Amino acid sequence: MLDGVEILTTSGIVLWRRHYAPIPRSVVNSLVADVFIEDRRLQTGDTQQPPTSYRKDKYTLKWTRAKDVGLVFVAVYQSLLHLSWVDTLLTAVKTLFLKEYAPELAKPHLTKLDPARFDPTFDALVRKLDTGSTRRPSVPDSEGPGELTPPSSSASATEEAVDEPPPPPPPQPLFRKPTAPASQRDDTSTDATPVPTPDTSRPSTPASHLLTAKSGPGKASRRARKAQQSFGNSSAPASSGDESATGRAQAGKTGTAKAKRRWDADGFAVEGEEEVLDYSTAGATPSQADNAAGQREAADVPAVDSAQMGTRTPKGHFILKDLDDDISALLANPPHQQNHPPTQTTPSDPTLLTTATTKLTSLFQNILGNKSLTATDLRLPLAQMRTHLLAKNVAREAADRLCAAVEEDLLNRKTASFTTVDATLRQAMSSALTKILTPSSSLDLLRDVTATTTTTTGAGARPRPYVISIVGVNGVGKSTNLSKLAYFLLQNGFRVLVVAGDTFRAGAVEQLRVHVGNLSALARRGGGGSISLFERGYGKDAAAVAREAVGFAAGGTTTTANAGGGAGGVGLLFDVVLIDTAGRRHNDARLMGSLAKFSQWAHPDKVFMVGEALVGTDSVAQARNFAKEFVDGTGRLRNNGIGMDGFIISKCDTVGDMVGTLVSMVHATGIPVVFLGVGQHYGDLRGLNVGWAVERLMR
Amino acid sequence: MAGSDTPNDWLTWAFSPTISAILVTLVVSLCLPVLIHYYLYRKASAKVLPTVLLIGPSGAGKTTLLTLFANGTPSATHTSQEPQTALCQLPSTTSSHEDRYRSEHDTSSRSQPKFLLVDTPGHGKLRHHALSSLTSPTALKGLVFVVDSAAVSSAAGLTETAEYLHDVLLLLQKRHTQSKTSRDPQAIPVLIAANKQDVFTSLPASLVKSKLEQEIAKARQTRSKGLLDSGIGMEDDGGDDEESNWLGQYGAKEFKFAQMEEHGVEVKVIGGNVRGEGEEKGRVEEWWAWIGENL
């Protein structure tokens, strides 16, 4: 069952909504944030096609967009259901809404619409598309096989608009006849005994055996069968004259003859049906009585021609004509065929003069601006832009996706005055790159460290050391960048513990020992921090070493009881723990698997992956494989489902302008770039300036 | 010939000193410029409307405030993806800046001034809309920084709000101190609207102010000690020294909004709520009053 449909503008205002069940606001908000703004595609492994549905909590959301007017149409339903008609509903809603409100949408600065005009259209659409298997139980349609649902009874609490006037009750017999010819209505009989009058929905009475014997659209119900049997068992067959039946019935009524107990096939006594079932004493045949009654009823009330009002669908639903025509025409030809942009009229046989004039006019239009952009206009400049990006070392997948996004953005837009198509494209590409590279929330490392090491209030009451771990493939510069990070923290007066988590590579521990020696000498000169190394030699399990180190830094072991001096929490030996890990190929499953255990034992606050700026297309695969390893205990990726906390792009001084790796890695995972390594000295660590990066890429 | 006679006649008449010719000339020469003026200026707007910018972290209530000011009742909203402009008019109960010379008992009807209210997205990736509208030259008369008073009571919400506010104030300060002309650019006053005061966990406006001041002090401290940007050396006009990146009074330990006044940025913190609980309406009169003063 559909939970709700909302229509909102790109600036966030909800223009129209219909909720069948309460939907928390965070559901649609997270759709907008995750899909439209941040464009996360981790759930679908394949990123070539754009995602079509989004899951959050127990809801699934599907959407469609109208980019030219800036509208988003969202449908929400429970994830357990599989509603196949939601896509059609959304497309139809989009077309009808745009048609209905076309004049208001053409005006600028739209903040409000009158929602009531769209309500009846939407109700009709849902009724038509909702195939009944998922119909809500609030709609009372248990009236019997002929599913007549008078619209007035189908209103749920949220639907205020009563769209169609309820059909007056008397026409019901007119409807009943075609669907249930075997039905016999008791109240049309002139001699109906009132006491055990069955419901109008109960279809059969024994007098109708005359009809059931002949007709039989298969719906002979129990009563009809009973009736048949009852009269079959009686001495007088049905075809006998009325008098005998009358006589028999009268005899039965007066009670002179013994009341015959009827038994049906199921073993139940058929009780008390003689009075009810006998209609032969009236004199008029049941069919005549019915006709007479029907005509009489029809005479009382002006006849309503149902065919004029609307049509009846095979399920028996009656839908008003004008809306249905519209909608069925819409559903018959899918709108994307209708919305096909009118092809430009090209001359059939281009003569020299016409080609020259068209070239000149397009040239002038290009320079002057105000040109509406079509796919052919954009094809060549986009191809050039793609080559340009590839030349800047952006991975092919990222370049394709960026170009597709820009093309979708620019299609059917008008260029500003005095800007060429090329300039417009560059501008659009710059803003797309800025959007990808800008992080959702900027990292302030010093702030986080201070907060964690000095917090004494709130949930995490005890101060604990801040744990940062560095991962990456072999040879990208993990140990070097770790030392640069340590230097930065030392300059700010923190106490740093460097953990040699690389227990595999020969010389890894000695390398770190040299770095720590240098840094402690530098720290003594000025800065006020202190640094030391924690190592357990070679061959041990890295996760165990890391856990032991974090415990040591928190001051937990019995041997070290006194707290070190300097800034930071009381009782902590060290403020920051930097864990170095072994380099591993991203396609080596065994080594990558040990990362999960590492993150669960060490509980790092931040996981940074180091990638070199020199790597080419491999960066995408590297980033993805590393990101999906960091799963916490419940199976969810840490850091809000992203995996890692940031990239450190090393060796940026060697690539000059070709900093496309930044874009590839961010595109692959959605994880922001936090630091750039620009040299081999301790001070060569920079933050990312998005404007600088975009300017380098577009140069 | 008859064909060439009539133009000849007309021309003779036109150049002759008859009263009718003089009158016709007078009428044409006086009306023609007026008609040309109306034709040329038929689509030009009368004057540039003042603009007020809505800025704030995501979820503060900016888009709802926009709908309230534009339509009179707040509508349901979700996260914004694009900026939105709306034309608003001061309500009749608010007195505007233009009325400061009017007597209180003046009963003549006057039309309240109109202004453009620009709502910007608060999501981290889309803040460039807001920051670029601050630096671009428009008739920006005021800045409303909307704050969720309930989110400010938590550490994460407070940090995000304070960092964004720090960036905005720093941008305004740089605009003032680094202007190229000798005449200062027009000062933009800032209103910090502490929204959602009806929520149970919300802090009162004075507490919001003091908390924000403390967080901004911490933020400017860590910014000054942080890593250098990769874009260093990009701008030609000398490297930024520490002083230009320091908000408020250089070297002061604490930050107060009053320190911003020397850069021409007047900051005020006023509480209110856009949506009332249940059937109540929101309290936004003080915000209207502030806008009216600064238009």
| Of A470, A460, A455, residue with least CA distance to A512 | A470
CB pair distance less than 8 Å for B228 and A14: no
Share of chain A above pLDDT 90, in %: 11
Non-local CB neighbours of A530 within 8 Å, separated by 6+ positions: A490, A495, A496, A520, A523, A564, A566
Spatial distance between the Cα atoms of A651 and A679, rounded to a whole number of angstroms: 6
B156 touches chain A (CB under 8 A): no
CB pair distance less than 8 Å for A111 and B86: yes
CB pair distance less than 8 Å for B124 and A439: yes
Spatial distance between the Cα atoms of A665 and A474, rounded to a whole number of angstroms: 17
CB pair distance less than 8 Å for A434 and B128: yes
B187 contacts B175 by C-beta, under 8 angstroms? no
CB pair distance less than 8 Å for A438 and B124: yes
Q: How many CB atoms lie within 10 A of CB B237?
A: 7
Compare CB distances from A488 to B75, B227, B231 and report the shortest one's residue.
Answer: B227
A549 contacts A497 by C-beta, under 8 angstroms? yes
**Residue A521 in tokens:** 């000498």
CB pair distance less than 8 Å for A37 and B79: yes
B78 touches chain A (CB under 8 A): yes
Interface test with B, best of A7, A11, A54 (most B CBs within 10 A): A11
Q: What is the mean pLDDT of residues A671-690?
A: 89
pLDDT the model gives residue B146: 92
Specify the range with the lowest mean pLDDT, choosing from A147-156, A687-696, B90-99, B110-119.
A147-156
Share of chain A above pLDDT 70, in %: 64
B1 touches chain A (CB under 8 A): no
pLDDT in tens, B106-126: 666 677 788 888 999 888 888
CB pair distance less than 8 Å for A109 and B84: yes
Interface test with A, best of B84, B88, B230 (most A CBs within 10 A): B230
Residues of chain A with C-beta less than 8 angstroms from the C-beta of B234:
689, 691-692, 695
Spatial distance between the Cα atoms of A248 and A259, rounded to a whole number of angstroms: 11
Interface test with A, best of B65, B79, B119 (most A CBs within 10 A): B79
CB pair distance less than 8 Å for A12 and B70: no
B79 contacts B58 by C-beta, under 8 angstroms? yes
Residues of chain B with C-beta less than 8 angstroms from the C-beta of A109:
84-87
Residues of chain B with C-beta less than 8 angstroms from the C-beta of A17:
76
Read off the pLDDT band of A311 (50, 70, 90).
low
Spell out a b/e string for A244-267, using b for 16 or more CB atoms within 10 Å of the CB, else e.
Answer: ebeebbeebeeeeeeeeebeeeee
Compare CB distances from B231 to A37, A109, A689 and report the shortest one's residue.
Answer: A689
Spatial distance between the Cα atoms of A599 and A581, rounded to a whole number of angstroms: 11
CB pair distance less than 8 Å for A111 and B225: no
Pick the residue from chain A with its C-alpha nearest to B225. Answer: A492
CB pair distance less than 8 Å for A687 and B222: no
Mean pLDDT across chain B = 82
Q: How many CB atoms lie within 10 A of CB A415?
A: 23
Read off the pLDDT band of A253 (50, 70, 90).
very low
pLDDT the model gives residue A231: 52
DSSP type of residue A131: -
Is B47 or A380 the better-scoring residue by pLDDT?
Answer: A380
Is B13 or A143 the better-scoring residue by pLDDT?
Answer: B13
A651 contacts A614 by C-beta, under 8 angstroms? yes
Crossing angle for the helix pair B19-40 and B2-15, to the nearest 10 degrees:
90
pLDDT the model gives residue A192: 45
A564: amino acid identity, one letter: G
Top mean pLDDT of A194-208, A284-298, B256-270 is at B256-270
Residues of chain B with C-beta less than 8 angstroms from the C-beta of A444:
159, 163, 219, 222, 226
CB pair distance less than 8 Å for A111 and B155: no
pLDDT the model gives residue B234: 56
HEC secondary structure over B170-232: HHHHHHHHCCCCCCCCCCCCEEEEEECCCCCCCCCHHHHHHHHHHHHHHHHHHHHHCCCECCC
A89: amino acid identity, one letter: L
| Of B179, B207, B206, B205, residue with least CA distance to B194 | B205
B63 touches chain A (CB under 8 A): yes
pLDDT in tens, B157-197: 898 999 999 989 888 888 887 776 766 677 788 999 988 88
Spatial distance between the Cα atoms of A642 and A626, rounded to a whole number of angstroms: 11
pLDDT in tens, A374-402: 788 788 888 999 999 999 889 888 899 88
Compare CB distances from A458 to B85, B126, B155 and report the shortest one's residue.
Answer: B155
B76 touches chain A (CB under 8 A): yes
Compare CB distances from B85 to A109, A112, A652 and report the shortest one's residue.
Answer: A109
- How many CA atoms lie less than 13 Å away from B110 in the CB half-sphere? 15
Enclosing H/E stretch for A296: helix A286-300
A339: amino acid identity, one letter: N
Interface test with B, best of A10, A111, A450 (most B CBs within 10 A): A111
CB pair distance less than 8 Å for B86 and A451: no
B155 touches chain A (CB under 8 A): yes
Chains A–B, number of C-beta pairs less than 8 Å apart: 134
A632 contacts A5 by C-beta, under 8 angstroms? no
B61 contacts B148 by C-beta, under 8 angstroms? yes
Pick the residue from chain B with its C-alpha nearest to A24. Answer: B78
SS3 A472: strand
Spatial distance between the Cα atoms of A319 and A93, rounded to a whole number of angstroms: 18
CB pair distance less than 8 Å for B82 and A8: no
Rounded to a whole number, what is the distance in angstroms from the first to the last CA of chain A?
Answer: 53
CB pair distance less than 8 Å for B225 and A29: no
Q: What is the mean pLDDT of residues A616-620?
A: 86
Non-local CB neighbours of A698 within 8 Å, separated by 6+ positions: A426, A429, A430, A433
Residues of chain A with C-beta less than 8 angstroms from the C-beta of B81:
10-12, 32, 36-37
DSSP type of residue A565: S
B124 touches chain A (CB under 8 A): yes
Non-local CB neighbours of A214 within 8 Å, separated by 6+ positions: none
Question: Does the structure show a pLDDT above 70 at A616?
Answer: yes
Q: Strands B273-275 and B281-283, how do they pair? A: antiparallel
pLDDT the model gives residue A620: 87
Task: Note the Cα B295 to chain centre separation in Å.
Answer: 9
CB pair distance less than 8 Å for A488 and B85: no
Read off the pLDDT band of A299 (50, 70, 90).
low
B71 touches chain A (CB under 8 A): yes
Compare CB distances from A36 to B76, B81, B159 and report the shortest one's residue.
Answer: B81
Chain B: give the shortest CA distance to residue A695, in Å. Answer: 10
pLDDT in tens, A623-679: 888 888 877 666 667 766 677 888 999 998 888 888 889 899 888 888 889 999 998
Is B88 or A195 the better-scoring residue by pLDDT?
Answer: B88
Crossing angle for the helix pair A119-129 and A321-332, to the nearest 10 degrees:
60
pLDDT the model gives residue A485: 92
CB pair distance less than 8 Å for A11 and B226: no
Q: Please state the pTM of the whole predicted model.
A: 0.71
Residues of chain B with C-beta less than 8 angstroms from the C-beta of A676:
230
CB pair distance less than 8 Å for A11 and B126: no
- Could you give phi then psi for residue A533, rounded to 5 degrees? -110, 140
CB pair distance less than 8 Å for A11 and B84: yes
| Of A692, A693, A619, A622, residue with least CA distance to A661 | A619
pLDDT the model gives residue A462: 73
Spatial distance between the Cα atoms of A416 and A235, rounded to a whole number of angstroms: 96
CB pair distance less than 8 Å for B83 and A11: yes
CB pair distance less than 8 Å for A112 and B80: no
Pick the residue from chain B with its C-alpha nearest to A31. Answer: B79
CB pair distance less than 8 Å for B81 and A10: yes
Rounded to a whole number, what is the distance in angstroms from the first to the last CA of chain B?
Answer: 71
Q: What is the mean pLDDT of residues B255-271?
A: 85
Is A416 or B69 the better-scoring residue by pLDDT?
Answer: B69
pLDDT in tens, B203-215: 888 999 999 999 9
Residue B283 region by backbone torsions, left for phi larger than 0, else alpha for psi between -120 and 50, else beta: beta
CB pair distance less than 8 Å for A111 and B81: no
Read off the pLDDT band of A144 (50, 70, 90).
very low
Mean pLDDT across chain A = 73
Q: Which residue carries 């004199």 as its tokens?
A: A283
Residues of chain A with C-beta less than 8 angstroms from the C-beta of B160:
441
Residues of chain A with C-beta less than 8 angstroms from the C-beta of B155:
451, 458
pLDDT the model gives residue A363: 76
Compare CB distances from A447 to B67, B124, B218 and report the shortest one's residue.
Answer: B218
pLDDT the model gives residue A376: 80
Spatial distance between the Cα atoms of B259 and B250, rounded to a whole number of angstroms: 10
pLDDT in tens, A330-376: 666 554 444 444 444 444 555 777 777 877 877 777 777 777 777 88
CB pair distance less than 8 Å for A14 and B75: yes
pLDDT the model gives residue A671: 87
pLDDT in tens, A558-592: 444 444 444 445 578 888 999 999 888 888 888 88
pLDDT the model gives residue A289: 46
CB pair distance less than 8 Å for A13 and B229: no
| Of A343, A341, A374, A346, residue with least CA distance to A358 | A346
Specify the range with the lowest mean pLDDT, choosing from A324-328, A480-484, A493-497, A593-597.
A324-328
Spatial distance between the Cα atoms of A382 and A221, rounded to a whole number of angstroms: 70
